[in-house]
Structure 1
Amino acid sequence: MNLEQARFNMIEQQIRPWDVLDQGVLSLLALVKREDFVPAAHKSLAFMDTEIPLGHGQSMLAPRVEARLLQELKVARHEKVLEIGTGAGYMAALLGHKAQSVISLETQPELAKQAAENLKRAGVLNAKVLNQDGAQGLASEAPFDVILLSGSVCAVPRALLDQLKPGGRLAAIVGEQPVMRATLFTRVGNDFPSVELFDTVAPRLAGFGEPSSFSF
């Protein structure tokens, strides 16, 4: 496989047509080597428009979804970021290139260890991985400028929104199959107005509650 041609095709044929037009984001996707974060058994899928299995019931999000979320969050160089659902560490690497610092939470110890190694190998030194549940965020390090949920939830817990700084943004994929929507929340005082960005489907993040199947 010609890696650079495959990377170029991913950016030009999958990501740019999905309204990812921020040149900073496109340049970053060319810089950060996605294939270095993909499990060896699935290297051939690194640039395809699909989720990539990581084991433990988890997956890397499709490249266009990652790119669109990154664009919509508009992360700035002075900002502090919390990611929930590290996976292989690729999104943490992208965030690390844009932010001042990144803390990423991963519930699976094997994935957390591998992601930390991937980030170190990629030279991303301002992103650290903690092996812990992320459903309640990380109050000890709050507030954050940006929080990203790298997976889907039925609803965003208020505890996470409360860990945003004024003007801070949280992005998550919210809903239940077959209808999920990437949603951006912004903190305005004690309110969190939201805007729906795009429809997609993503694997569930571990540790977040599901809606009751009973109706009253």
Structure 2
Amino acid sequence: MTATRDKQIEERRRAMVDLLMQRGIRAPRVIEAMQSVIRDAFVPEHLAELAYEDGALPIGEGQTISQPYVVALMTEAAALTETSRVLEIGTGSGYSTAILATIAGAVFSVERHEALAETAERRLSALGMGNVTIRVGDGTLGWPEKAPFDAIIVAAAGPRIPDALRAQLAVGGRLVMPVGSGAGPQTLTSVMRRGTDDFATETLAKVSFVPLIGAQGWQR
């Protein structure tokens, strides 16, 4: 039975990756990471059968695990290398964290819900992701002690790009974040820092994320 289930999971994972490629994901390391990370390990057990469908799923605390396409799109837009230092805002289930950690050199992830942070930390540790550090805090303020970062990925939608995150982005680095409210359209936005006060902005897609709560985001 276990062998049969493992085969079914592998087939679903392969079908998910095929769909990502059909939708335009091209970066080889992103595709490899999406293929290798076991997504069903990051969702509630009763939703495991839905893990590889291209949709978001609830994970508790009013939060969700993003759909695979959006995870892949944001990761690809961050243009990571094996030496990249990445700041992730919104650890959630830890799935996106695992994708980032598979590609980058070090991932620093901030989660405001302690229960989610603890669960994600256990999952990532069990998978041997030793290049991840998680802390509980206000993600809109980033992690200044660890800055600068080559990439910043924000898995929640804010009214604007927080100034604190702009300041912590290295020159040449990229920040990827949805901007907008839950009541209206959200725009997945990519920001590249070209100089001290020089930022180039690009619109990637229309998306739907939970709100970014914090001092430089939405209020509770």
Could you tell me the TM-score, scaled by structure 1's length? 0.92
- Alpha-carbon contact 1:61-1:151 (below 8 Å) kept: no
1:18: how far off? 1.9
Given candidates 128, 132, 140, the residue that maps to 2:133 is 128
Partner of 1:203: 210
Q: For the Cα contact (< 8 Å) 2:82–2:104, is it kept in 1?
A: yes
**Residue number among 186, 194, 216 corresponding to 2:192 in the alignment:** 186
Give the counterpart of 1:9 among 9, 15, 21: 15
The list of structure 1 runs, each at least 4 consecutive aligned residues, that deviate by more than 6 angstroms after superposition, is none
Question: What letter matches 2:173 in structure 1?
Answer: G
Q: Residue 35 of structure 1: which of 40, 49, 55 is its match? A: 40
- Letter matched to residue 201 of structure 2: S
C-alpha deviation, 1:11, in angstroms: 1.3
Contact 2:212 2:218 in 1 (8 A): no
Partner of 2:166: 161
1:110 corresponding residue in structure 2: 115
> 1:10-64 deviations in whole A, cap 9, x for unaligned?
1112x12221122221121111111111121221221112111011111011110
Shift of 1:144: 0.8
Name the CA distance, whole Å, in 1 between partners of 2:157 and 2:21: 23
Give the fraction of aligned pairs with identical amino acids, expressed as a percent: 32
Distance in 1 (CA, whole Å) between partners of 2:28 and 2:101 is: 17
Does the Cα contact within 8 Å between 1:178 and 1:201 map onto a contact in 2? no
Structure-2 residue corresponding to 1:54: 59
Give how far 1:152 is off. 1.5
Matched position secondary structure for 2:199: coil
- Residue 155 of structure 2 corresponds to 150
> TM-score scaled to structure 2, two decimals?
0.91
Equivalent in 13, 21, 26 of residue 21 of structure 1: 26
Question: What is the aligned length?
Answer: 210
In structure 2, runs of 5+ residues without a counterpart are none
Cα separation, 2, equivalents of 1:25 and 1:103: 19
Structure 1: stretches of 5+ with no match in the other structure: 212-216
Distance in 2 (alpha carbons) for counterparts of 1:169 and 1:114: 28
Q: Deviations over 1:163-193 (max 9, x none)?
A: 0111111000112343211111011211211
- After superposition, give the CA deviation of every residue in 1:84-141 in whole Å (9 maximum; x if it has no partner): 0000111111111111111100111110000000101111110111111211111111
